């Protein structure tokens, strides 16, 4: 069971909390969450915001701090229904959204959590290539309500809706941002894409993008689509059998790497069928869980029954933000948290494996390291291929979705052990796999370790090279060579673990002549590549038999992978031999193995190398072995080095043999195939050379020369001639790799043509028969075109669906019937004509008929679009009749009107010019025109007095419209010559609307109003008056707030001692007066009430004048009090004078002066005493 809990929000550095909002984004990055923008609905009127908040997440609360804009730094504009995504490397990317009902955005911003700065990306020029390169694709079009999902270094943007200004265009395109280069990439997705939509949810499950639900102007969706982003051209597919229980849009969703598979949690949103009482759907508060593994639906299935959740659940809502906090295994939704540990996985964790790699065939011991493992006999170790999407079940799946579970053993609280299974048998391929554990029947751990599967070594592709297996090294010291392990794909292994067995034998031969054929003529030890042949080969010229043997060996190297080395080894195997010990075989842990032995005396040695075992390898003799090596007592010392001249000469020899063999194949396949008197033998020979090319693709010489040259480069030795020969040979092999398949395709029909001549003879017999059918087919085609043209005209101008009186339901039924008849009769007939025309060779003559069939379908589609608009209009009217005025969403109402008008404007002929189209345009225009002023009224803070003013203004406008309609009717009658001809068609609707508006009476209680009641006041006819009332209401609302603030502030103002001057200036105690802050407020408040009193006449003008008089009185009292206290302060020194006469004079003068000042203050105080407390 899942558990909801409330999360307390506390203030951080900003000392305030975020306001309520919707359409915002919340993104978790480590221990913090970032929230940007949204529609702040608490404002009056509601509007988007550009606020940016940082929340520190703890187990019980969120500490919010406002991220303030730095002076002079760029900042994104206010918006809602945008996206913000964590794209790695401490970066947050913001894209798109709505700034207002008519302004959609496609700007892209990047926020760094390190520098704490926003910067706008100029994605038109990001990562610009040289001038010759193709220009980068632009950013996606402006939109909101879209999705942006981060998958493997790329941001995938899908859907939403946009369009210029007030238009509404649902989108179905896919855009991709490379987060490394910050450049948009062109996406040409294949497969069956979803329909255009917005308000959908999108999550990443491995390499797949899942799109759930959403809505468009025409439909609401419950389907789920998957975009496989791994191929170069991503592939869309609908996930069958996994639809949402009902259409759902504006819901929140997040994917969690649960066990054994990903789980997608979906919360809330709007759903259900759209009815007159609920045109926006019903808000939901349920939690659904989509299990992304096993079962139907492409590996997706909904948890059944839905999981129950207890605790303090959030209220139903849409446009919320849902994120997953992995450290606490809980979901965060606004001010609530949902503990999902029971579904996602247990508390124990995995953090590593030892060893970190092993053979794909398994069978190796493995230690899984982690924390909080509990002792149990039920230990399971789960392996799943990375990037495998939904994954398969236990013990199966494709290579991209392979998964298997092995039994393990508890070892300690931080370690469990197991033996790896045979991954290859379970469909795995070499690469990384995820490792998790399950203990005691609980779920698999949410954390994982990575184990690398390596391909197994195949002895038939391994290579042995080095001076220890060549002719010309020195005996008596250590001889060495390298074994390069390779897998079945002929690729070098990069890890160790194989077991090789090496046996070295000294061949016991008859005594050689004094002139040892192995002794090199030049023994200066030079390592120069140009002298390597002299150091490694006999110096005397080859005899005729030797030349013949060399030619045979070269031809042998063309025909197979063995060549002269195998021939020599086969001959040496017949001689007596004596085994000598091998000093060591070292595993270098990089796929190579170093072998060292010590040849005791000069002579030839035979070296056998076998792959004995290790990680499921393919054992056997290493390719090209046994090898024959020859050692001399006086060979140059440098010949025994891995980077010496001996190995350089061997590399050049292998490269030269490869090049010669490939050139022979090239010459064999590049022969002319035309003009041959007897082509069959030539074609057979060319085919043989082509098959030889395929065998040379993995030639021993190419592989051995490659690894030797790589070792020479590693040893800082150079062999330019060998490098060049090998490069040319491989280049020619690559060239032939594209040429030979094309040649084989050409050979197949040529060989077939030599064996049969039946097809040409058959074509000759059929030609006159088919030609005779052409005139009749043309006559039938012309008659079909004429009938089809009449059919198109009938579809455009007749039928019940062309009349407005038919109604939506009957019109849609008539359209469905017409479309079925059109496809069954005319479409099927066209297909028959096209097949027959192609058969007789006049396919181009069916173009006109094809155009007419397409035109008829377009006529029906145009009428279908028109009646869809009519259905939307009927639904909007019905909804307006029942929607309470207090529940009206102004942006949504405004958008409904604009969307409806835009759809009608884009209707196509003949539907747009039909009687039904004209009636729809008039009705939709009237409804759309009333939506805008109604939305403005709902935003405005109207009081009952404003509604009364609005009623009076609308009644006046109705009377004026009625009066204006009468002269128009009289003038029209006069022009028609008859008084009974009716009123003017343009004036009649206005008069009728005005008369209807004059009769509308809204109830006194605003809570009982409906939307259609307000729209029925005649807002369009009285548009000027409506705007004037709205402006007045806004002004008065601001004045009301200002006057309330005045009353609150001045209701507590008092005179305080010590506030009027220096303490002790008057003797005992300080002076009396207003505090400094109150004096400053007095000055600013006097300016404010003066502006209100002397400005536009409003409901609060009188109150503003009263406040002006009161504050002016306060100012006068303060001035009088200050004058009295100033006089007392100035006369106080006279009381301290030593002269008696002077003292008497000062006392009389002081009493007179003080008396006048205090008397003045008393009068001012009495006049204004209502502003003070005693």
User: pLDDT of 911-937, one tens digit each?
Assistant: 888 898 888 888 888 887 777 777 777
Give yes or no for residue 47 having a pLDDT over 60: yes
**436 Cβ partners below 8 Å, 6+ apart?**
259, 260, 350, 381, 382, 384, 444, 445, 447, 448
Neighbouring C-alpha atoms within 13 Å toward the C-beta of 752: 9
What pLDDT was estimated at residue 126? Answer: 36
Q: Are the CB atoms for 593 and 502 separated by under 8 Å?
A: no
* Beta-strand pair 322-325/224-228: unpaired
CA atoms 145, 150, 151, 155: torsion sign: positive
What angle do helix axes 1023-1050 and 944-976 make, rounded to 10 degrees? Answer: 170
Q: Which of these ranges, 334-338, 433-437, 623-627, 1063-1067, has the smallest mean pLDDT?
A: 1063-1067
- Take residue 246 and report the two structure tokens written for it: 């009902």
User: Using omega within 30 degrees of 0 as the cis cutoff, is the peptide bond preceding 355 cis?
Assistant: yes
* Beta-strand pair 577-580/582-587: unpaired
> Residue 146, SS3?
coil
User: Is 392 or 1039 the better-scoring residue by pLDDT?
Assistant: 1039
What pLDDT was estimated at residue 543? Answer: 36
User: Is 288 or 680 the better-scoring residue by pLDDT?
Assistant: 288
Neighbouring C-alpha atoms within 13 Å toward the C-beta of 214: 28
Mean pLDDT, to the nearest integer, of 1088-1098?
76
Give yes or no for residue 874 having a pLDDT over 90: no
- Position 702 confidence tier, pLDDT thresholds 50, 70, 90: low
Cα 713 to Cα 80, 462, 648, 705, 707: the distances in Å are 59, 20, 10, 12, 10
Mean pLDDT, to the nearest integer, of 120-127?
56
What pLDDT was estimated at residue 965? Answer: 53
- Position 1016 confidence tier, pLDDT thresholds 50, 70, 90: low
User: Is 124 or 249 the better-scoring residue by pLDDT?
Assistant: 249
What pLDDT was estimated at residue 754? Answer: 46
What pLDDT was estimated at residue 713? Answer: 58
- Position 1062 confidence tier, pLDDT thresholds 50, 70, 90: very low
CA atoms 1054, 1055, 1061, 1062: torsion sign: negative
> Residue 488, SS3?
coil
Residue 822 gets which letter from DSSP? I
Mean pLDDT, to the nearest integer, of 1136-1144?
52
Give yes or no for residue 1142 having a pLDDT over 90: no
**178 Cβ partners below 8 Å, 6+ apart?**
127, 153, 154, 184, 185
Residue 1088 gets which letter from DSSP? H
Q: Which of these ranges, 527-536, 659-668, 833-842, has the smallest mean pLDDT?
A: 527-536
Q: Are the CB atoms for 742 and 773 separated by under 8 Å?
A: no
List, for residues 956-991, the tens digit of each pLDDT value. 766 776 666 554 443 333 333 333 333 333 344 444
What pLDDT was estimated at residue 125? Answer: 37
What pLDDT was estimated at residue 622? Answer: 87
Q: What is the dihedral of CA 964, 970, 975, 980, to 10 degrees?
A: 130
State residue 1143 phi and psi, 5-degree precision. Answer: -70, -40
Give yes or no for residue 225 having a pLDDT over 90: yes
Nearest by Cα to 915 from 870, 857, 978, 964? 870
CA terminus-to-terminus distance, the chain:
66
Q: Which of these ranges, 273-277, 286-290, 345-349, 542-546, has the smallest mean pLDDT?
A: 542-546
Which single residue is written with the structure tokens 């359409």? Answer: 23
Using CA atoms, how far apart are residues 466 and 646, in angstroms rounded to an integer? 9
Give yes or no for residue 352 having a pLDDT over 80: yes
- Take residue 137 and report the two structure tokens written for it: 């694709």
> Residue 124, SS3?
coil
Helices (H) and strands (E) in the chain, counts: 22, 53
What pLDDT was estimated at residue 703? Answer: 58
What pLDDT was estimated at residue 704? Answer: 60
Using CA atoms, how far apart are residues 885 and 424, in angstroms rounded to an integer? 67
Highest mean pLDDT among 205-209, 302-306, 735-739, 1012-1016: 205-209
- Position 142 confidence tier, pLDDT thresholds 50, 70, 90: very high
**485 Cβ partners below 8 Å, 6+ apart?**
457, 462, 492, 493, 498, 591, 592, 593, 611
Mean pLDDT across the chain: 75
Nearest by Cα to 488 from 458, 453, 454, 463? 458
What pLDDT was estimated at residue 469? Answer: 86
User: Using omega within 30 degrees of 0 as the cis cutoff, is the peptide bond preceding 1071 cis?
Assistant: no
What are the start-end ranges of the H helices in 1132-1171?
A: 1140-1167
CATH 1.10.630.10 fits 2-122+137-273+282-344, yes or no: no
Using CA atoms, how far apart are residues 890 and 45, in angstroms rounded to an integer? 9
What pLDDT was estimated at residue 265? Answer: 93
Using CA atoms, how far apart are residues 357 and 360, in angstroms rounded to an integer? 9
What pLDDT was estimated at residue 417? Answer: 94
Which single residue is written with the structure tokens 């035109």? Answer: 855
Give yes or no for residue 53 having a pLDDT over 90: yes
Nearest by Cα to 44 from 1077, 1041, 809? 1041
What pLDDT was estimated at residue 430? Answer: 86
- Position 761 confidence tier, pLDDT thresholds 50, 70, 90: low
Give, for 839, the enclosing helix (H) or strand (E).
Answer: helix 828-840
Give yes or no for residue 36 having a pLDDT over 80: yes
Mean pLDDT, to the nearest integer, of 1134-1139?
55
What are the start-end ranges of the H helices in 430-543?
A: 532-536
Give yes or no for residue 1141 having a pLDDT over 50: no
CATH 2.60.40.10 fits 349-387+403-454, yes or no: yes
List, for residues 490-548, the tens digit of each pLDDT value. 788 888 888 899 999 988 764 343 444 344 334 343 333 433 333 333 333 333 333 33
Q: Which of these ranges, 163-167, 549-553, 567-571, 744-748, has the smallest mean pLDDT?
A: 549-553
- Take residue 1140 and report the two structure tokens written for it: 């008696």
List, for residues 287-300, the tens digit of each pLDDT value. 999 988 754 445 78
Mean pLDDT, to the nearest integer, of 102-115?
91
Mean pLDDT, to the nearest integer, of 602-610?
90
pTM of the shown model:
0.42
Nearest by Cα to 557 from 627, 658, 708? 658
List, for residues 770-824, the tens digit of each pLDDT value. 677 778 888 888 888 888 888 888 888 888 888 988 888 888 888 888 888 887 7
What pLDDT was estimated at residue 1083? Answer: 78
User: Is 759 or 1045 the better-scoring residue by pLDDT?
Assistant: 1045
**932 Cβ partners below 8 Å, 6+ apart?**
894, 897, 898
What pLDDT was estimated at residue 570? Answer: 65
């Amino acid at each position: 069971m899942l558990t909801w809990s409330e999360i307390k929000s506390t203030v951080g550095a900003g000392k305030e909390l975020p306001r309520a909002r919707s359409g915002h984004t919340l993104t978790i990055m480590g221990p913090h969450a970032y929230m940007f923008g949204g529609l702040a609905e608490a404002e009056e009127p509601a509007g988007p915001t550009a606020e940016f908040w940082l929340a520190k997440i703890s187990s019980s609360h969120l500490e919010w701090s406002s991220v303030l804009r730095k002076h002079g730094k760029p900042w994104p504009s206010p918006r809602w229904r945008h996206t913000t995504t964590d794209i790695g490397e401490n970066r947050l990317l913001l894209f798109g959204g709505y700034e207002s009902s008519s302004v959609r955005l496609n700007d892209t911003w990047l926020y760094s959590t390190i520098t704490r700065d926003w910067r706008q990306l100029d994605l038109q020029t990001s990562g610009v290539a040289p001038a010759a390169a193709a220009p980068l694709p632009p950013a996606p079009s402006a939109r909101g309500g879209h999705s942006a999902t981060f998958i493997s270094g790329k941001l995938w943007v899908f859907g939403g809706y946009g369009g210029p200004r007030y238009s509404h265009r649902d989108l179905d395109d896919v855009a991709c941002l490379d987060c490394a280069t910050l450049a948009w990439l062109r996406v040409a997705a294949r497969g069956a894409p979803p329909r255009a939509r917005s308000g959908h949810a999108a999550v990443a499950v491995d390499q797949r993008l899942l799109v759930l639900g959403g809505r468009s102007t025409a439909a609401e969706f419950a389907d789920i689509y998957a975009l496989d982003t791994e191929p170069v051209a991503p592939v869309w597919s609908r996930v069958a059998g996994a639809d949402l229980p009902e259409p759902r849009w504006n819901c929140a969703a997040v994917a969690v790497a649960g066990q054994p598979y990903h789980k997608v949690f979906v919360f809330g949103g709007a759903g259900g069928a759209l009815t007159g009482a609920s045109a926006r759907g019903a808000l939901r508060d349920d939690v659904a869980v989509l299990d992304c593994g096993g079962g139907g639906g492409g590996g997706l299935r909904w948890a059944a029954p839905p999981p129950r959740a207890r605790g303090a659940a959030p209220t139903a809502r849409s446009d919320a933000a849902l994120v997953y906090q992995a450290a606490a295994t809980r979901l965060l939704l606004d001010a609530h948290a949902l503990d999902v540990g029971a579904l996602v996985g247990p508390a124990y964790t995995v953090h590593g494996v030892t060893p970190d790699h092993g053979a794909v065939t398994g069978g190796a011991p493995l230690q899984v390291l982690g924390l909080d493992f509990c002792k149990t006999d039920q230990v399971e170790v789960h392996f799943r291929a990375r990037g495998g999407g939904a994954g398969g079940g236990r013990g199966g799946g494709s290579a991209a979705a392979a998964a298997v579970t092995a039994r393990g053993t508890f070892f300690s609280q931080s370690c469990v052990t197991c033996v790896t299974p045979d991954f290859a048998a379970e469909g795995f391929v070499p690469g990384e796999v995820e490792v998790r554990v399950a203990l005691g029947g609980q779920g698999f751990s949410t954390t994982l370790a990575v184990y690398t599967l390596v391909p197994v070594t195949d002895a038939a592709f391994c290579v042995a090279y080095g001076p220890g297996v060549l002719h010309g090294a020195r005996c008596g010291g250590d001889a060495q060579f390298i074994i390069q392990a390779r897998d079945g794909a002929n690729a070098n292994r990069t890890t160790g673990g194989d077991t090789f067995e090496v046996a070295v034998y000294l061949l016991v031969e008859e005594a050689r002549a004094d002139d040892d054929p192995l002794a090199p003529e030049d023994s200066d030890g030079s390592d120069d590549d140009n002298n390597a042949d002299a150091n490694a080969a006999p110096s005397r010229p080859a005899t005729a038999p030797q030349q013949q043997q060399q030619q045979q060996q070269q031809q042998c190297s063309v025909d197979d992978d063995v060549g002269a080395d195998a021939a020599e080894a086969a001959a040496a195997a017949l001689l007596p031999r004596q085994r000598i010990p091998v000093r060591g075989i070292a595993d270098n842990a990089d796929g190579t193995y170093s072998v060292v032995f010590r040849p005791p005396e000069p002579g030839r040695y035979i070296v056998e190398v076998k792959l004995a075992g290790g990680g499921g390898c393919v054992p056997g003799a290493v390719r090209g072995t046994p090898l024959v090596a020859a050692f001399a007592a006086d060979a140059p010392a440098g010949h025994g080095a891995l980077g010496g001249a001996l190995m350089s000469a061997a590399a050049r020899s292998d490269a030269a043999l490869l090049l010669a063999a490939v050139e022979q194949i090239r010459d064999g396949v590049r022969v002319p195939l035309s003009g041959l008197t007897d082509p069959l033998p030539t074609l057979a020979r060319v085919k043989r050379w082509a098959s030889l090319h395929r065998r040379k693709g993995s030639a021993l010489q190419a592989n051995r020369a490659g690894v030797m040259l790589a070792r020479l480069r590693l040893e800082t030795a150079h062999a330019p001639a060998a490098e060049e020969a090998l490069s040319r040979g491989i280049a020619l092999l690559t060239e032939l790799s594209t040429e030979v398949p094309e040649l084989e395709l050409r050979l197949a029909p040529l060989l077939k043509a030599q064996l049969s001549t039946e097809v040409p003879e058959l074509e000759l017999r059929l030609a006159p028969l088919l030609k005779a059918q052409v005139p009749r087919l043309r006559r039938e085609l012309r008659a079909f075109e004429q009938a089809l043209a009449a059919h198109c005209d009938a579809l455009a101008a007749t039928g019940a669906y062309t009349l407005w009186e038919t109604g939506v339901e009957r019109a849609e039924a008539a359209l469905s019937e017409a479309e079925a008849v059109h496809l069954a009769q005319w479409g099927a007939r066209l297909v028959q004509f096209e097949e027959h025309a192609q058969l007789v060779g006049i396919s181009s003559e069916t173009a006109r008929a094809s155009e007419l069939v397409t035109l008829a379908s377009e006529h029906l589609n145009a009428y279908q679009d028109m009646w869809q608009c009519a259905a939307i209009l009927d639904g909007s009217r019905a909804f307006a009749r029942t929607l309470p005025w207090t529940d009206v969403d102004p942006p949504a109402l405004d958008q409904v009107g604009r969307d409806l008008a835009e759809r009608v404007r884009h209707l196509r002929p003949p539907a747009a010019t039909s009687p039904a189209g004209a009636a729809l345009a008039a009705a939709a225009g009237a409804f759309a025109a009333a939506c805008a002023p109604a939305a403005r009224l709902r935003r405005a803070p109207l009081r009952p007095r404003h509604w009364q003013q609005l009623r009076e203004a609308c009644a006046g406008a109705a009377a004026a419209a009625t009066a204006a309609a009468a002269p128009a009717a009289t003038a029209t009658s006069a022009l028609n010559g008859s008084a009974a001809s009716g009123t003017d068609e343009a004036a009649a609707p206005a008069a009728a609307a005005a008369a209807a508006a004059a009769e509308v009476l809204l109830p006194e209680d605003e809570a009982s109003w409906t939307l259609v009641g307000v729209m029925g006041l005649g807002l369009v006819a009285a548009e000027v008056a409506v705007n004037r009332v709205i402006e007045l209401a806004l002004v008065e609302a601001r004045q009301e707030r200002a006057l309330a603030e005045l009353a609150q502030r001045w209701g507590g103002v008092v005179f305080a001692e010590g506030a009027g001057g220096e303490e002790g200036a008057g003797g005992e105690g300080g002076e009396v007066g207003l505090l400094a802050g109150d004096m400053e407020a007095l000055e600013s408040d006097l300016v404010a009430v003066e502006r209100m009193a002397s400005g536009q006449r409003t409901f609060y003008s009188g109150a503003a004048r009263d406040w002006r008089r009161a504050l002016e009185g306060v100012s006068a009292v303060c001035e009088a009090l200050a004058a009295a206290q100033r006089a007392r302060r100035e006369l106080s020194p006279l009381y301290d004078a030593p002269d008696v006469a002077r003292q008497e004079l000062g006392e009389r003068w002081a009493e007179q002066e003080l008396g006048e000042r205090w008397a003045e203050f008393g009068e001012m105080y009495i006049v204004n005493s209502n502003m003070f407390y005693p």
